[in-house]
Structure 1
Amino acid sequence: MPPSAVASAPALPFPGPSSRLPPATSAGARIAGISGRDDVWRRRRGRTIGPLVGMGIDAAHPGGAERRHPQGYLDRSVDMKELLVALSQTATPEELHAVMSPYIDGSSSSSSSSSSGGRRQRRPSLSLRFMVGLLSREPDWRRSIALLDWMLDAAGYPPSVFAYNVVLRNALRAGQWALAAGLFGEMRTRHALAPDRYSYATLISALGKAGRLEAALSWLHRMERDGVRADLVLYSTLIELARKLGDHAKAVSLFSRLRSSGIAPDLVAYNSMINVFGKAGLLQEARGLLAEMEEEEEAVRPDMVSYSTLLTAYVENRRYVEALSLFSHMRERRVPPDLTTCNIMIDVYGQLGMPREADRLFWSMRRLGVEPSVVSYNTLLRVYGEAELFGEAVHLFRLMQRKGAVQNVITYNTMIAIYGRSLEHEKAGNLVQEMQRAGVQPNSVTYSTIISIWGKAGKIDRAAALFQKLRTSGVEIDPVLYQTMIAVYERAGLVAHARRLLSDLNDPDDEGKIPRETAVKILARADRVEEAARLFRRAVSAGSVKDITVFQCMMDLFARNRRHRSVVEVLENMRAAGYLPDSAMIGMALHAYGKLQEFSKAESLYREMQEEGCVLPDKVHFQMLSLLGARRDFARVESLLAELSSDPNVNKRELQVVAAGVYERGNRLDEASRIIKSHARGVLD
């Protein structure tokens, strides 16, 4: 059967062979144990070799979809396992046809004749259901393609979306992306078969699992355009992939599309989105999802993961008071804390300067039915250290050893840092040796901590010797370690040494140097604007920036240093790479556009992010309102003000204050007065 075109397929980064059935030499097509053949599983007759998109189609292929066959199949008399064994011995289409030829009524032993009249006289002896089952059990994707060819060409089976779905699955398991796109095109253009939900879900899920988010989203768009509705599982898969890749804006957009499609999220989707909102800094939206789950009529009830995920989000965003409030809310609802919750709250108490409450919670964990873990001990150790309760910290550290509690590298790193705080640098150095004797290997944080301690103690030679030893020993030199050594040199006034380290970062891809993306982040976090900008632009030109955090670091660096044009440049590079900015980056970009007096571009970005389904925080909305006021476009101010007033997620009191300020700065005192009066009444006119 000739291959077919995928002329209507969306342009995707599908690598691989250019024909529907790839050449054996390009796909490792030889079957183990078979040698001396030029081709395996490639039929020359009728094959058209060309690009995947726009490939020619044989219009003379007869329509087999209308064929109907009577009952009386031999399914029950054929042992599928034996047939699979026989098929496993074949290495060419001709050999496969010879094995399958007995299952065509009225056929001769040669099943390769291709006259259309002869094919109309044949009738398969095995049902389509049997053949689909056979395809699903065939482990080799090349053999399953050849078997599908036999079904459609030699045996005259009607084209079946079920058979194509099985072959599609086999091809995707082998990572044959181009072939998968070709199968989609063949279903549509040769056989007028509409891919069903399973077809799309199989392809999109496989792309998702391979980390190819952009390709998966492109096929999701085509799926929806074709009128095939995605289900909860598919959306959840893509949301989770976007979350893992740190592309929170796309995750939020997908969740919005899920809900607008009328699909009710399940517990997994809710918890995943609470995490995404938290990572994106949209804490009000995250709290809103939890409140939604707590409503009496809501079918999905929050579990412990829901609460602990939101607690984690509060801590990561340094919203410790809100975390404490949520913990009190959990107690009011009689939600028993689990280990994760206890560990988070020990940290929260420490951050709020409440070490005694942290101590009390730790020692009450067993009474609550929760056994403290090494994380619990490590967290309390850090709380003691930050509160300068050095005696309690040493006591807890040695208590762990007496009880035989596990001590990991974080335990030792925390204790080393505590000795540094208490100016006991010799004990800190001795603890590094102790951890090695205990079988715990130091990591980059260990070395960064000890180098910093020695630097502050004036032991520059020891710090430099350790750093040089690490560089030549093959230990990973991470950004923190590099920044620590640069800071030690600068603090000691050794500017030339610091510059020498910085020069290493300007050519980071040579042997023995650190990765380019890591070098960019080191320079950005060290506030080295020119060096970071130069290296970043080289990395972008080479297409080597694959980590969204590199864009975040550079935009933050340029924003801090009021390099507004460069902020916009980073945004454009980021969009070109297929990433959506998070709320903080959108805010920085809007600010830059405002400073550059490019108000229309600011509004375009704002609207574009809304159309992408991004949930924007109040700060971004208010920023856009202020920019419209700065442009003196008060008609647009009124329009946006009305739009935000009807949004239940926007804080109305803060909106009124911002709106009044916009009018005052524009010398529109009557409008400002109206806003202030409406604020007193609690409504916006």
Structure 2
Amino acid sequence: MYLPIISRLPNWLSNIKYLSNNAKWEQIFSHYQELTRTQLPLHFMQDPSFIHPILKACQNLSFFTDGYSIHASLIKNGMFESYTSVQNSIMDFYVKARNFEFALAIFDEMKIKDSVSWNVVINGSFNQDGILSNGLFLFSKAVGTGMFEPNVANLVLVIQECRNVYEGLIIHCYVIKRGFCSVSSVQNSLLRFYVVDHGVKVARLLFDEMSDRDVVSWSVMIGGYAQNGESQVALGLFREMVWESQNDVDAQIMVSVLQACISLRNFRVGSLYHGFVLCKGLNFDLFVGNSLIDMYSKYGDLDSALEVFREMPQRNLVSWNSMLSGFVHNKKYVEAISLFCSMSEEDIQVDEVTVVNLLQICKHLLDPYYCQSIHCAVIRRGYELNKLVANSLIDVYSKCNLITHAWLLFSLVKDQDTVTWSTMIAGFTHCGLPEEAIAVFKEMNFVRATPNTITMVNLMEACSSSGELNISKWAHAVAIRRCLASEVVVGTAILDMYAKCGAIDTSRKVFNQISQKNIVTWSAMIAAYGMNGLAHNSLTLFQEMKSQGLKPNEVTTLSILSACSHGGLVEEGISLFRELVQDHDIDLRLEHYSCMVDLLGRSGRLDRAVDLMETMSDTLEPGASAWGAMLSACRRYGNSELGIQAVSQVLQLEPSNSSVYILASNMFAAKGLWNDAARMRLLVKEKGVKVEAGYSLIHVKSKAEKFVAGGTRHLLSHKICYVVEQLHEFMQLDNVDDNIFLCM
């Protein structure tokens, strides 16, 4: 009864092979079902190649249950163990069905393993999550059998999964020995391995030896140089490719080139390569467009970034986020909010990056309501578990002085990382709670979280705010134990901490111990002398810095001008101001002009201060700090006419600044304008301005004692008041010998 059916087997087999070559999986499976309905035993199938197309059809159609049934039938009929090729097909089916454990079990039970068997299991091991190490082990075991013939596919996978240079060099030697060193895909895999794990120098040696470089080879090398900060070399290699190679530039290479342009921060170079993108028609590529937006945003040319964004035929969420980040990075917060509204109108689903950008807007606008609204959106979308979002929320709440909200959110974060702890420490410090910040750091050590450079800098800032010299010394010791004190950033924070605690000699010792000083370190030490009233030391150190070939920047300029201002070195300050502008081409900012106004105002040169404010750059207008310095000078020298103008300007710029009202009231009172003085005091109450009392900080037995103006709560207040009164009375005596004060 089987003879008519058996006679049809050759036609069935040839038809299935034809359908397999043309990927007609549904028709193959239909033939298989027809065959099973004939109830023909599988042992009549004399050709094992009949099995592989059917299993491949099950795999491509995701009919895994049918594949399992075929496996069971083959075992039942004895077909499975009779042919290695059948076992290989079943093993390959299980690999593609992502059931590598079954495939590995079959492999282990095989009595005869051929080269195909090894290739199937090796390739399969590299495609499984969590068991990548098996691939290298199996590959080395296969090589040891002497019967293994590797193919290009598993060599590429093996190279990709090498975990260190030693493994990579062994595979590289094997590639050369087996004659695969001329295969482009293998060479490119080796290039990528060396770029990622051993640096571009070794990769360049291999690249220079390649006789046939394709576009992938150039892309790997150019991208490697761009990612390793060697932007000039990356662009030079790109030009070499364009001039000498027959390969067309693709989008991936242009993305690497634009990344190199971003690192160079050269607007002209970036614009030239944008022109090249337009000539090659690559501006329609989504990734190239996103890179162009990022490049122009980093250059500060938001008009060009926005033009690229609008001309993109296709945008994804990265495009929107890149444009949004550009606005935020360049402090265009109104435009950023407008863009976000456009996202909502076009029904673009935001992600964590969008939320973080919006939170940056809150941080600069200091809008608590807006921050809480975004927090609600975060909870609704389920982003509260994202560490980046949680850390940003803690930071923004702290900057908005909602420290209770920040602490509550910090307490709810599971598995706080180093960034979370550092952000909370910085938050307490910003809100004037240095003791709490230090307590958080101690708790961080208690749970054995590892502080990093940023953590230590935040801790030093907290110690600076506390003014406690003993605490500062403890923090310094912690940095030494953590082997972080030698880092220039931490060392600079330490010397600044000691300077703010009044220990200027210790600060200088720390400065001398920093081996690799940068311009920030020098600027911090110059500022340290200035804040401690040692303006001449600041000038000496400034000259020493220049003698070592370091050019002052904007921060150095502000530090030295501030030192001259507080030290009363008017002529020196004016001379330095001119020198820095003319000889060093310093880009003057509002802070520099404000500092010069303060310097001239302290010395009574109000007319020159006014002239300076009127001759500021066209792009700058006098800010609250400049007018505040002018107001302070007017109060000191009794110029109420100019002082009234300064009061008007400062109140317009900073209506919630309590010091303005106090200065204005004192100025009017000194002139006998009691009604105006009372009006200033009344405005404070009407506008609900919080008046922050001034305080003095002195060290008594290495402990910082804080005395608030008008306060009587401190235990030593009455004693200090009594001593001050006695000194005042003593100074009124006519026959006081000046030498007595020298003895005191």
What TM-score do the two structures reach when normalised by structure 1? 0.48
Which structure features the higher share of helix residues? 2
With normalisation by structure 2, the TM-score equals: 0.45
